[in-house]
Structure 1
Amino acid sequence: MTALTHDVVAFALIGASLVGPGQPAVKVHGANNSGSTGYVDLRNPSSAWTDLSGWSMVSCSGREKNALVTFPAGFRVPPGGRVLVAGGDFAGDGTRQVTVPAVDGEGAALLDRRGVFVDRFALTPDSPCREKEAALPCGHGMAPQRDALSTDTDDNRADFTCAPTVG
């Protein structure tokens, strides 16, 4: 696992919305698994702060899960806030950023303190990061992303569409 760096630039906030019953407060909003320039965009669409202390991120390659980062004590995401878990060569866009060497594979997942999947995303049908149907791949300069409210139906194909990459 990679330790967090201190390249916290700023919070970029999106409009807060309420999270439905049984829905995780923080979601995988988008991802671009392109190695050292890749990222996983986490968003908190709720109206409350969410504590990610001890939570972790993994990337998925085939049927394997690879550790990206474990969030330290006190790591919180504000209402409407976002965090990018980004590869070391990611250009950045002014968003609060957690730097890891690379974001590889065909998917990513957020796990709680107990190691239980909170939210996940994948482009391949056999990925352990997939929810129901895999998301469709995107063309050059595009990456899978949820809508502005981070709508989550637990079906990657329904939840993710192609949008311009972050950064």
Structure 2
Amino acid sequence: MTRMRAPIGDFDEARPAPDCLDLLTPPVAEAVRTWTGPVPADQILYVDTDPAIADTAVFVEHHGADLLDASANCVVVAGKRGETVTLAACVVRSATRVDVNGVVRKHLGARKASFAPMDTATGDSGMEYGGITPLGLPADWPLLIDATVVDTLWVLIGSGRRRGKIIMPGKAFAQLPGAVVLEGLGIPTA
């Protein structure tokens, strides 16, 4: 098993995610196992982390302030138009929030958009709350990626579980199935 130093953060070690499939949820493991594209699968890295400090602010305090600019969150939103509900995943840098009522609602063609209920997000994705990642999401979900995520050299994001994180090149997010890169998806939190 290959062990290396993580390209960002203060972690004891990083391992190529293809060597850690047993530590990932089944949909994430399958996405890593079947990965194709210009960024090789061994550049998707897994770092073991304590689930008790999975939330961004505590995590950054523990593993390095540089992670705030290099980490992203994946949240599930529900867009509704009439009786039709569309689930979508949105990936934005951790220092921002998703523009649910602007960019997301418009992109989905929804009258109303909101964060999906936790049971829906976890049940439909097969991932744990607080660890949802864009790797391995249902194929019929739109995957909206903020352009600043793609422009970040290395990005830390959930692994599908609260324990563990994935680090991968920002440009790899654009090659995920169903990915649409959007300007302004993440807006400042202040």
TM-score tier by shorter-chain length is under 0.3
Higher Rg of the two aligned structures: 2
Q: When the two structures are superposed, what TM-score results if normalisation uses the length of structure 2?
A: 0.25
Say which structure is richer in helix. 2
Say which structure is richer in strand. 1
